[in-house]
Amino acid sequence: MGAGSPPRLGPQVSPKDIHLFADEELMQLVRNGDPRAFETIYDRHGGAAFSLAYRMVGNRPAAEDVVQESFLSIWRSRTRYEAERGSVRSWILGIVHHRTIDSLRRNLVHERRRTSAEGIEERHEAPERTDVEAVRRDEARSVRAALDSLPGEQNQVIELAYFGGFTHSQIAEMLNMPIGTVKGRMRLGLDKLRRQLAGELA
Amino acid sequence: MSAADHQRFEEDIGAYLLGALANGEHEEFERHLATCHVCQDELERLKGAADALPRSVAQYEPPPSLKQALMEQVYAETAPEQAPRRSLAERLGLAGGLRRLTPQMAALASALALVVGVAAGYAISQTGGDSGGTRTVAAMVDSARVGAGKATLVVPDGDSGAQLRVSSMPRPPAGRIYQVWLQHGDRIVPGPLFSVDRNGNGAAAVPGSLNGVKQIMVTREVARGATHPSEAPVVTARV
């Protein structure tokens, strides 16, 4: 928000001012059914949501379906966001992650993946247009580096679980190891990731 | 909660944060979490690492059609009193289709003028009247396009909770659905979607109050609904 007299939060917020509000403030407007606030939230986080879904399902149409479902669920259950449980971005990405896992487990996405002729060459990296995006690009590098620094067996179970959508028992079967070992590696991996990222991510 | 209970769940925290618990297990763990401070502290400690994972992925631009489809649905579900307080042109401009849609809006405006000024070709399906605190508003149906269809707008006392009822209406063309529109002054706000049964009967609850609403209209739109009318109305009820 810039200096001077900031716009007041309320139903009369003008379209040109809506972009000045923080996510948490916009969510208050979304809770009151303001589609412009919702649109701004999508503009800010739709790309990250799409990128996560795309990373998990591997094709554009299925990623689009999941993102559209996720944002519609956010619009329709607008009272659910609680600021004390984290940032709006993390909350949204959590919803997208959860819904993508549902799709993967219902096998809907695998089905579409087989029928999609789309190749990886159709991917287009989003351009670095703003300072915020540049910072996020740096964050992405840091998190990737931290993930790469994990012992291979911890990295593997995190990848299979978080991005592959597999359950701990599926992973145990896949890797032919006890469930307890898989769960332990997940926890140890997250703990090590936390230590690696400490101080890097605000 | 017993120590044995906690012991049963303590290794689940990583799988929980990664979404790797099966459906039943997920809910079971959340029930435990609600009562276990040790697990709550552990969740707090590790949550940041799990939240960082989506930041590691390469970023891609979602297609503009995704936003367009999403916002069309959102506007279709927007209550009239919460609908944007800007002009229709501004709203369409926001959706990026102003130039493309202007002729359609011009066509709609012309059609509305025609509805008001010329009765030929339209059947007034029912005259207005009062009955038990409810008034019935006459609706005009474009018989050239929807045949023998009839429509009435039933408005309870207080002008809230009105219902648009149709009968003998043909099913919309494949992939289309009927959509209600509310005209406030020069603004046209999207309303609910409805279809008809095999006898052509259907109804739509008009959201909010009719206070300030000049007309209720119906057009045939894409199945997910639209943010703006794409054709002249097939039903018009002047409030």
Mean pLDDT in residue range A71-76: 92
B19 DSSP assignment: T
The H-assigned helical ranges of A86-178 are 88-105, 108-115, 131-149, 152-158, 168-175
Among A89, A117, A145, identify where a domain stops.
Answer: A117
Q: Can you give the pTM of this predicted structure?
A: 0.61
* Domain assignment present for A86: yes
Instruction: Tell me if B151 sits within 8 A of B139, measured CB to CB.
Output: yes
- Neighboring chain A residues of B73 at a CB cutoff of 8 Å: 68, 72
Give the CATH number of the domain where residue A105 resides: 1.10.1740.10
Work out the minimum CA distance from B11 to partner chain A, whole angstroms: 6
The answer to whether residues A148 and A111 belong to one domain is no
> What CATH number should be reported for the domain whose range is B3-56?
1.10.10
Q: Where are the beta strands (DSSP E) in chain B?
A: 122-124, 129-131, 134-142, 150-156, 163-167, 176-184, 187-194, 202-205, 213-222, 235-238
The answer to whether residues A149 and A197 belong to one domain is yes
Give B46's contacts (C-beta < 8 A, 6+ positions apart). A187, A190, A191, A194, B13, B14, B17
Instruction: Tell me if B14 sits within 8 A of A189, measured CB to CB.
Output: yes
The answer to whether residues A17 and A100 belong to one domain is yes
- Neighboring chain B residues of A93 at a CB cutoff of 8 Å: 51, 54
Q: How many domains does chain A have?
A: 2
The answer to whether residues A109 and A135 belong to one domain is no
The answer to whether residues A112 and A143 belong to one domain is no
CA nearest to A67 within chain B: B66
* Domain assignment present for A50: yes
* CB atoms closer than 10 angstroms to residue B175: 9
Q: Which of A35, A46, A47 lies nearest to residue B75, judging by beta carbons?
A: A35
Instruction: Tell me if A163 sits within 8 A of A129, measured CB to CB.
Output: no
Mean pLDDT in residue range A191-198: 93
Query: Which residue shows structure tokens 């697990």?
Result: B39
pLDDT level of residue A71 (50, 70, 90 thresholds): very high
> pLDDT tens, B28-54?
999 999 999 999 999 999 999 999 999
User: Residue B26 pLDDT > 90, yes or no?
Assistant: yes
Q: How far is CA A26 from CA A21, A88, B130, in A?
A: 6, 10, 44
The answer to whether residues A73 and A165 belong to one domain is no
User: Residue B141 pLDDT > 80, yes or no?
Assistant: yes
The packing angle between helices A60-76 and A35-57, to 10°, is 140
The answer to whether residues A81 and A49 belong to one domain is yes
Give the CATH number of the domain where residue A169 resides: 1.10.10.10
The four Cα atoms B100, B102, B104, B106 give a dihedral, to 10 degrees, of -160
Among A82, A117, A152, identify where a domain stops.
Answer: A117
| ipTM for the assembly | 0.84
DSSP assignment of A28-73, as one string? HHHHTT-HHHHHHHHHHHHHHHHHHHHHHH-SHHHHHHHHHHHHHH
Residue A45 CA to residue A59 CA, distance in Å, equals 19
* Domain assignment present for A2: no
The answer to whether residues A15 and A112 belong to one domain is yes
Contact across the interface for B62 and A36, Cβ inside 8 Å:
no
Contact across the interface for B53 and A143, Cβ inside 8 Å:
yes
Structural domain of residue A181, as residue ranges?
Answer: 131-202
The answer to whether residues A88 and A151 belong to one domain is no
Among A65, A82, A117, identify where a domain stops.
Answer: A117
Each domain of chain B, given as residue ranges in start order, spans 3-56, 86-238
Contact across the interface for B54 and A144, Cβ inside 8 Å:
no
